[in-house]
Structure 1
Amino acid sequence: MKKIREDLDMTFWDVLISVGYITAGAALYAIAVNSFVVPNDFGSGGVTGISILLYYVFKIEIGTMNFIINSILLLLGWRFLEKKTLIFTAYAMTMLSIFINHLRLPAFHSDNSLLTAIAAGCLIGVALGLMLRGNGSSAGTDIIAMMMRKYLGISFSAGVMICDFVILSASVYIIGLEKLIVTMILTFVLGRMLAYMTEGLNPRKSVMIISNQHEKIAQEIATTIDRGITVFHAHGYYSQLEKQVLYVVVNNHQIIHLQKLINDIDPIAFVTVSDVHQVLGQGFSLYSYADKKRKIKKLTNS
């Protein structure tokens, strides 16, 4: 037990939060499979997709087969995962298998199969996002992709895509072409929702401003928008003149106000606006392991 605590390098509350994320994600994933995917004869990618196909053909419990296949892959690829991720991934696949076998809710049916597929994709995407936020991983084809990257030189994303393509292609002989097309839509929605959960849960805009009126602009931003500003010292390559570059991150609804503010002060200011998928830090994060550790260290040293 002591060795596990050392491998995790987390406080008790951090571990509890991770376990909560993973447990909630596993339960939501099981609901999606049992209430949306299987009752409507859809397929899926990854190890769960293989387990679902085997269930359709041989009526083997999905959770049981999911656990067996993931356990084999975890034993083969344990060296590719850091110890913290390995521990939480083992917990995630165990809870997922238990929930799939035992968490049964009424099946969802609709005359519009696309509606069902979109709902299933959203649920699974959120579920995987929660498990990843809990420091776990979906194991399965992720490990195969890591092995392909190491031994075949194939990128991780390409490896995952190849695995899912093979599984989905094989499913056409079991669920038919129409269901396969709907399953591909489900997979696309899943991917977008997962990206939103892991990268875009806290979307913002980053703005870089180059202006001779930088001091006045910075003062107005601090006063009226109440956002922190970073100043970079730079110089123009052609003019060789010293420049002050302002960098600020704002909420999406603040960008119009910021642009108007800059234009009123300096209409010829050079401004770039970029999408920021995720912002962590003071003023933006609801919870951060790093912030928590810094606070604990500060209290310990005081």
Structure 2
Amino acid sequence: MGGFITAYGLEAVLIPNNVSDGGITGLSIVGFELTGLPLGLLIAVLNIPFIFLGYKQIGKSFAIYSVIGIASLAVGTVVLHHISPIIEGDTLLVTVVGGIIIGFGMGLALRNGGALDGIDMLAVLLSRKLPFGTSDLILFLNMFVFIVVSTVFGLQGAFLSAIAYYIASKVIHIVEEGLSGAKTFKIITKHPETMVETIRDRLGRGATYNLVQGGYSNEQFREITCVINRLEESKMKEIIYEIDPSAFVMVYDVAEVRGGNFKKHDIH
């Protein structure tokens, strides 16, 4: 599904308006424009070495799902090649809508254990051999891709492609984590029992204790850990301030929560 959605975004929005994508897909689009070879064939062939990298560096199941996803993307571009564009001419709308569609497709694939583009796998491998982080290398590699894109689509096409890629990356992040998401609260308070009871009564959430010790005072505390829905964050802060305005609080974003009793409760 992710492969076909991405193919639709390419064939119905980006490519007809001379806008490319990043990564191996972007290089495949350039190859299609220069040689006339089927885009699906180029996507499949250029991703082969990166699938091998994914198998070696990440695992067998990831490689298998990536093969399925990339094959779906390649077939999708062939099937949808003659589809009528849904947007023409409006560069802003093209980059936004195209970025959203391909980001949703790629995010769907990543969320379910595969990938539609090999450049991320290359970045993971290079990060182990070079003094740079994975995200820095992905950015650098895509800068090279957009330089190549500019030789075919011009500077404007390269800039629009970069904007579409940026939007797609944000949508991928949302699809992977979900719109609602979750938050972890770590609370050190003078009234841990009251805090836990109030959180349970008002939010219906459980909590756990961790024994911690102050580095300066050597005093021991019970640190409360509680995972809540993002929509409950303001209510949680209200409870903490009501019980102990001087409580020490740390809040973390949580990408995924499974198991336990993590369900939405009425806030009252």
| TM-score of the two chains, using structure 1 as the length reference | 0.79
Counterpart of 2:86 (choices 105, 108, 111) is 108
- Using the TM superposition, give the Cα deviation of residue 77 of structure 1 relative to its aligned residue in structure 2, in angstroms: 6.1
CA-CA distance at 1:283 after TM superposition = 3.7
Offset at residue 75 of structure 1 (A)? 4.5
Q: Structure 1 stretch 228-237 or stretch 196-205: which is displaced more?
A: 196-205
Partner of 2:114: 136
Alignment of structure 1 residues 111-260 onto 2, 5 Å: 111-152=89-130, 154-260=132-238
Task: Report the structure, 1 or 2, having the larger helix content.
Answer: 1
Is the Cα contact below 8 Å between 1:204 and 1:250 reproduced in 2? yes
Q: What is the aligned partner in structure 2 of residue 30 from structure 1?
A: 7
Distance in 2, matches of 1:36 and 1:199, equals 25
- 1:19-39 Cα offsets, whole Å, 9 max, x none, are xxxxx1011011001001111
Q: Does 1:262 align with 2:240?
A: yes
Normalised TM-score (structure 2) = 0.88
What is the match of residue 300 of structure 1? none
Instruction: Please list the CA deviations of residues 240-298 of structure 1 after superposition, one character each: whole Å capped at 9, or x if unmatched.
Output: 32211111122223222222222222233223333334333334489xxxxxxxxxxxx
> Kindly, what percent of the aligned residue pairs are identical?
25
Contiguous gaps of at least 5 residues in structure 2: none
For 2:149, the aligned partner's letter is S
Let me know the Cα RMSD of the aligned residues: 2.3
Q: Does the C-alpha gap of structure 1 residues 250 and 168 become closer, same or farther in structure 2, counting only changes over 3 Å?
A: same
TM superposition shift of 1:81: 3.5
User: 1:182 corresponds to which letter in structure 2?
Assistant: L
Q: Residue 200 of structure 1: CA displacement?
A: 4.9
2:34 matched residue in structure 1: 57
Whether 1:93 aligns to 2:93 is no
- How far apart in 2 are the matches of 1:205 and 1:38? 39
Distance in 1 (CA, whole Å) between partners of 2:58 and 2:253 is 30
Aligned residue for 1:12?
none
CA distance in 2, matches of 1:247, 1:193: 29
Across the two proteins, how many residue pairs are aligned to each other?
Answer: 263
Cα distance 1:76–1:136, how it changes in 2: closer, same or farther (>3 A)? Answer: closer
